[in-house]
Structure 1
Amino acid sequence: MQDYIRKRVLDISNYIMDTKATVRQAAAVFGVSKSTVHKDMTERLPMINKKLAQKIREILEFNKAERHLRGGEATRKKYQEMVE
C-alpha cells in the first residue's frame, strides 16, 4: 500500500472516531468518493490496524442502522419549509 493511501486511511478513520461521521460526511471533508471511504474503512484499515477497524465498523454499522431516521427527518424538514 502506498504511503499516501495509508495516511488517508488513518486520517479518515481518526476523523470518524472523533466525530462519529457518516461515510458521506467523511467523503465530503476529505474530498474523496463515498466508495473510496467505504473501501478504505472496510478493506484497507483492517490490514493496518485491526482494533481500530473494529471500532470504525461499529460506528459505520450504527450509522447504517440509523440512516432511515435521518432520511425521514430530512424529508420532513423539506416539506415543512415548502409549507411556510
Structure 2
Amino acid sequence: MVKEKSWEEFRNSGLFWLVNTFLHTFGWALVAEMKNETVVKVYPARVKFRGFSEKINDEGYIKVSEYLKENIDELEKESKE
C-alpha cells in the first residue's frame, strides 16, 4: 500500500522533526522551504548544527506521542498484513 500524504501532515505528526533528529547525527537534515505556511520545496542538506533546542525537542516528542496514540491501531494492523 502506498498512500500519498502532504508535507504539512508529515510535519504536524512530528515525524519530520524525528527524522531530522536522526540525520543531525551525520551532519544532514531535510530542509522544508515554506511560503505562506505551505511547503514549496524539500531537499536534503549538509548542516553544521547537531540537534534542536529543549523547547523544540519537547514539542517534537509531544507531536510524535500524539501521532502514535491516534494511529496505533492502524499501524499495528498494517504491520500484520
* TM-score normalised by the chain length of structure 2: 0.33
User: Which of the two has greater helix per residue?
Assistant: 1
User: Which of the two has greater strand per residue?
Assistant: 2
* TM-score normalised by the chain length of structure 1: 0.32
- Structure with greater Cα Rg: 1
